Amino acid sequence: MEDARQQYLENGYHLHPEPLVEASLLRRALDRIPALIDERYDTGARPWRRYNVGDPHKLQKIDQVHLCDKTFHVLATHPKIGEHVARLTGADRVQLWATQLFLKPPGGGGREVIGWHTDRENWPFWDGEVLTVWLALEDVGPDAGPVLYVEGSHRWPDAEKRGDAYAQDLASLEARLQAMGPPRPWRKVPVVVKAGGVGVHSADILHGSRANESLVPRVGLGINVLTDRARRRMGVADYGYASYLDHPFVAPILYSRTGGAAPPPRAAP
């Protein structure tokens, strides 16, 4: 696992292409998606946001899906997720703070591209070690519009990574970003994994995705986590996320080296 940790630190991401989560749980989660599309939730809670849900020509997203569905809560809190992140980072604690269900329709004819961006741009309320685990619910091939990591970009200055997740022209956005700094290699690594496999990436790495040109939807669960090295940034709007860090259902501890629940991260000055 030391090689995997070194790869994560050096490249800003790590791929685990083989299943980390059992097929039976993935199947249960897939079977729940029609109910989620129809807004039939089984926890008594609603997701925080629905984005293009039901539109066959656009990327669809459900924010905080683990709050509104019992099966997705079980999936997002799978013990192997926290253990895997802890092994990659050496963290003493791994805590879930957000989830997103992504449905990318097949055919490649709509607005399902994700422009180059870093998660840090969207999460300015966190300092320190914040990561995303992208979990595939079905096999993801190179033609399915997989997430693309720009290898090593987590080490580039923030001023050279002001992207746009909503941009649909990746080539033009790449050219604009390249013009912000000195010439740099743009090695794009696709998250091509089997069902149950994951890509783990730093909040500071540039990433995006092309259209899904396969014949089936690309289905993935984004699991956003922070470690004991993360801190809240005071004076910055957090959209309610930080206020739930002590809630065991909303923001559960996925891994603690000492066992049991650990306190949420302290605020940064």
- DSSP class per residue in 85-153: HHHHH--SEEEEEEEEEEEE-SSS-SB--EEEE-HHHH-TTEES-EEEEEEESS---TTS--EEEETTG
Greatest distance between any 2 Cα atoms in the chain? 51
pLDDT at 181: 87
What pLDDT was estimated at residue 259?
74
Domain boundaries, the chain: 2-260
Q: Rounded distance, CA 119 to CA 202, Å?
A: 8
The pLDDT of residue 26: 99
pLDDT at 155 over 70: yes
Under the banding of pLDDT at 50, 70 and 90, the label for residue 260 is low
181 or 114, greater pLDDT: 114
pLDDT at 200 over 70: yes
Q: Name the residue among 125, 123, 114 with its Cα closest to residue 150.
A: 114
Show Cβ contacts of residue 3 under 8 Å, excluding neighbours closer than 6 positions. Answer: none
Judged against a pLDDT cut of 80, whether residue 136 lies above it is answered with: yes
pLDDT digits (tens, 9 = 90+) for 205-236: 999 999 999 999 999 999 999 999 999 999 99
- pLDDT at position 160 is 86
Q: In the predicted model, what is the mean pLDDT of residues 31-38?
A: 98
CB 114 within 8 A of CB 168: no
Residue 266's pLDDT band, with cuts at 50, 70 and 90, is very low
Band of pLDDT at residue 112, cut at 50, 70 and 90: confident
Q: What is the pLDDT of residues 36-78, one digit of tens each?
A: 999 999 999 999 999 999 998 899 999 999 999 999 999 999 9
Top CATH class, 2-260: mainly beta
Is residue 1 predicted with pLDDT exceeding 70? no
Q: Is 97:64 a contact under the CB 8 Å cutoff?
A: no
Q: Please, which residues have CB within 8 angstroms of residue 181's CB and are 6 or more apart in sequence?
A: 156, 157, 159, 160
What's the predicted TM-score (pTM) here?
A: 0.94
Handedness of CA 205, 211, 214, 216 (dihedral sign): positive
pLDDT of residue 263: 46
Q: With bands split at pLDDT 50, 70 and 90, how would you rate the model's confidence at 127?
A: very high
205 within 8 A of 161, measured Cβ to Cβ: no
For 184, phi then psi, to 5°, come to -140, 145
What is the residue whose two structure tokens read 């994700």?
Answer: 114
